[in-house]
Each structure stands twice: as structure tokens, then as C-alpha cells.
Amino acid sequence: MATLHRRFALTALTGALLSLSMTTAFASSHREAPSITKSPKVDATDFYMFRSYEANRAGFVTLIANYLPLQDAYGGPNYFSLDPNALYEIHIDNTGDAVEDLTFQFRFKNNLADLQVPVNGVNVSVPLINIGQISAANNSALNVRESYSLDVVKGTRRGGVRMAVTGSNGQTSFTKPVDNIGNKSIPNYASYANNFIHTINIPNCATQGKVFVGQRKDPFAVNLGETFDLVNIKAPATAFDPNAEDKGLDTLKDKNVTTLALELPISCLTAANEPVIGAWTTASLRQARLLNPAPKSGHNNASKEGGAWTQVSRLGMPLVNEVVIGLKDKDKFNASKPKDDAQFATYVTNPTLPALLEILFGSAGVKAPTKFPRQDLVTAFLTGVEGLNKPKTVTPSEMLRLNTTIAPAAKDQQKRLAVLAGDNAGFPNGRRPGDDVVDIALRVVMGRLCLLNVGCTAADAPSAAIDFTDGALQSPSQFDDSFPYLKPALAGSPNVASSK
């Protein structure tokens, strides 16, 4: 290759994918499969798992599962409550067999207060979510109040023993902050939301943890809109461009997301002498749904759900269902379990993404890796890396894997390229909010691990040293250094609170 510093744009790649009818968004999991576009409330967007880097919390693992993508902050009057008819889950495999050993389950309730105001001597129900200012101490002006329960299942998700997680006062119901309506309704949203970080007691665990559920700024950085307009953008594809990785192309900079965050003691997640844990998220709906042709007054009466839980969303490693799984199998992947991932192995061992990159940039000398099956990608996506995050025994399967013996790096010491930059506390050893997984994944799929003799050699990957990038910078500096780490939600109304 002519240089180790040439950068090619993911945006151009996405345009080519569009021309090949792969019409899903290149984001960690924003509308990534045909069926899930119909049910945004159960669409998992991103999953993070890392040793907590907040001061004095290194003995904990933080798990962050985001749902309901592309939230416009001004999306009233209903905003973005989660689905009370859904089951949201975070699964932990601590034995390496691709089957969950612990599952944390979230169930939601939306309670209608039916606030009314007098109009000509008659009390009339209001059409809005609030009729006055809201605080953590006083939510009397809030018309819809959202709460949730949290359970832990030991064993398989449906056949194991389910136990309630309780709060510091023994409560089994936890409150969720309302979305960031605006600065007049909630003058200091960051302070308001912090009141909903709850201390929790986990059954059979001697140390307390934390939970937070609520709206946050979408942490993922990627360009979407202009890409889908036939790549209507000046792509950072110039050789020797020192600013290629930071073109300010984050389409999600004005979007929110709903976060389910847990901070749990390491000792309560690991098993026996195995320090590596694997994890993934799912969401499930009931098999049957009847639409009510004549809903009664009240809340959540438009349909009736019943039957067994049916998994409709799955997310572990980022970008898998977007640019690895073929379009025909995306819904199938969302309904699948890690133990059955052999059915998708060809997408990893014979990936299409490098071939498309070669088609796009072949004239510039880009070549896809040549050694098949791609054992380097099997290592990165399905087993973990030997000496980093591979369990002692492992069933190949797609999930995030974290070695809990590797010390966390403080925020100012983290490197956005994580393991590729010598920072072993980040992706693919788990995933932190500041890990630039798009740039990392692009370089890995083009053979960067071959330079380390992981399943291949440098001769097998002629373009392994190219610094592929999407031009949307992901950096640890964009996030907080304490739980729940993600920035507070953007305000629907950014104006300063007034009495007008």
C-alpha cells in the first residue's frame, strides 16, 4: 500500500450498500431489520458493558442497554415511554456455553393521572403530558407517570428462578423520570434525572448495585441522513487528510434514546474461576395481539396482548445485524439465541463488507483479506481474543465479552480505538461509550488483526494497515465519568424557563 495513513469513507461504502438494496441504517442498531421498524419501542440501539471507571467503583460492571432510536427531543405530546406490554432483558453468560446464566428483566407501567382543568364549570381531561412545572419532589403536574419493576432470573430466562430486585427501602417498583420536555417544564433536567438513580439489592448478592432508567442523549456517533441522499456529502476520502476521523458528521447529535443502565458487583456476575462474562440484550412481545375497535376511556386500552413471549430484538456486539448479517436473515437474527449462532457462521467466515470495500476502492489499491474462513473475525465476534477476553471454554457465539480482571482506565486515559490503540479496557473487551466502534470494526473487518497474527498474517490482508473511518468522531471526552455515564437528554424546548 502507498501509505499507512490513507483513510477511506464509510459514507461512500454505505451508498454502495444502498445501491445493492441493503437499506438498513449504519448505526449500532437503529432500525436495523425490516420487522423491528414496526415496533420502535422495543428496538435495541446500543449495548455497553465495561468495568466502572467512576472513582471507587472499579469493583463493579456497568451494563447499558439503549432502546427506542432516533428520538426527537421535541416529540410531544406523548414523548417516548417504553412499552408496558414488552419484556426488556439483559442476559449474562458466565460459563462460556452461549446460554444465559443470569437475566435482568425490566417491565414497565404507564399510569395515567387524568389531570383535568375547569372549563366553564366543567372539569375536562387535558391532552398534554404535563400542565405545570415538574420536579423530583413534586410530580403533581405530570399526567403520565412511568414506573418499572426489575427481576433477576438465575438459570435460563424462562426456566430459571425469578427473584425480585428491591430498592434501598425494600420497594419492588422504581420510578422513571419523564422525558426532557423542556426547560420551562423542568428547569434543570440533569439534576432532576439524577434523583432517579436507585440503589438496589440483588438477591444472593452481598453488595448493593445501582439502576437508572430514563431518557439520555444518544451516545452513538454516525452520519445517516446525507448518506441516504445518494451520499450527498463531501466524504473524508482524501489521502493524508489529518482530520478525516473528525469531520463533524454525527447525524445523531440532536437525538435522544431511552437508557436501561445497571451497575452490578463483579462478584455477583462471574462464576467459579472464570473472569470473562458474555452479555447481550433482547426485547420480547407477546405472540398474540388483538386490536380493540372501540377502546374505552383510560390508558393503554387500544389492544390486548397474550400468549408466550416472542423475542423481536437482539443486540450484543455492535454493527453485526447491520453490516454482517444478510438482509434476508435480519429478522431471523433478531429472534435467535447465541447458542444457535452456527446458522449464521458463513456471514462471519465469508463476510461481504470487505468485498464491497474492494469494489468501491479497488482502483485506489484496496484489497479485501484473502484467507478463508476468516478466523480473525471468528475470534473478534464469536469467541473472544486469546489472552484478552476469551473464556477458558467457549461455544462460538455472538455477544459482548468482558474480562473482569482487566483494570478500568480513567476517562482521561481511555483511547477511542481501545485495544487497537493498546487500551485493553475497551472494545472488543466489552464496550465503553467512548469506544469508536465504527472505525474499529472497519479496520478489523479489513484485516487489522492479521498484523497481530490472529488467525491470519499480514500477507493475507493487503489493506490491513489502512485507517478506515466514517468521519464521525466518538471520544471518551463526550461522556460523563460517573454512572450512568451517558449525557442527560436534550431538551425538547431549549429556551430558558420563563413565566410567559
Does a structural domain hold residue 234?
Answer: yes
Does a structural domain hold residue 90?
Answer: yes
Closest of 482, 497, 432 to residue 135, by C-alpha: 497
Does a structural domain hold residue 27?
Answer: no
Does a structural domain hold residue 426?
Answer: yes
Does a structural domain hold residue 488?
Answer: no
Task: Give the C-alpha separation, 280 to 99, whole Å.
Answer: 11
Does a structural domain hold residue 368?
Answer: yes
Grid cell locating 381: 465476534
- Cβ pair 163, 195 in contact under 8 A: no
- Total domains, the chain: 1
Q: Could you list the pLDDT tens digit for every one of the 500 residues in the chain?
A: 333 344 444 434 433 333 333 333 334 556 666 677 778 899 999 999 999 999 999 999 999 999 999 999 999 899 999 999 999 999 999 999 999 999 999 999 999 999 999 999 999 999 999 999 999 999 999 999 999 999 999 999 999 999 999 999 999 999 999 999 999 999 999 999 999 999 999 999 999 999 999 999 999 887 665 444 433 434 334 344 667 777 777 888 999 999 999 999 999 999 999 999 999 999 999 999 999 898 888 777 888 899 999 999 999 998 887 778 888 998 998 999 999 999 999 999 999 988 887 887 776 788 999 999 999 999 999 999 999 999 999 999 999 999 999 999 999 999 999 999 999 999 999 999 999 998 898 899 999 999 999 999 999 999 998 888 777 888 999 999 999 999 999 999 977 655 44
> Measured on CA atoms in the order 39, 40, 46, 52, is the torsion positive or negative?
negative
- pTM here? 0.91
Task: Give me the domain span that covers residue 213.
Answer: 36-460
Does a structural domain hold residue 360?
Answer: yes
Following CA atoms 2, 5, 10, 16 in sequence, which dihedral angle do they give, to the nearest 10 degrees?
Answer: -10
DSSP assignments along 139-167, one per residue? -TTBSEEEEEEEEEEESSTTTSEEEE-EE
- Cβ pair 468, 6 in contact under 8 A: no
Does a structural domain hold residue 118?
Answer: yes
